[in-house]
Amino acid sequence: MRSYFQKAATAYSKGELEYAAYLSDQGKIQTKLAREADERASQNIFKARNKGFENVITIDLHGQHVKQAMRL
């Protein structure tokens, strides 16, 4: 993802606007895929950590980042 954006910036500075736009779009796609994978991992961690709890008051947020913990 980072590589696509860096290459896009380089292409843009060289005046290769169409190629820069393509690389930027690829970077955006990779960013979206990374976020989706991160969300799936967060959900899997949450399920694994909380499968044994019988009450709805207690949850284990270990292994979660702040944004994910707040969402859960």
20 contact partners, CB below 8 Å, separation of at least 6: 8, 9, 11, 12
Task: Output the pLDDT for position 29.
Answer: 97
Q: Please tell me the predicted confidence (pLDDT) of residue 7.
A: 95
How does pLDDT run across 8-63, given as a tens digit for each residue? 999 999 999 999 999 999 999 999 999 999 999 988 988 888 787 776 677 778 88
CB 12 within 8 A of CB 23: no
Give CA–CA dist 62/45, Å, rounded: 8
Q: State the pLDDT confidence band at 71, using cuts at 50, 70 and 90.
A: confident
Instruction: Evaluate if pTM is beyond 0.85.
Output: no
| pLDDT on residue 17 | 95
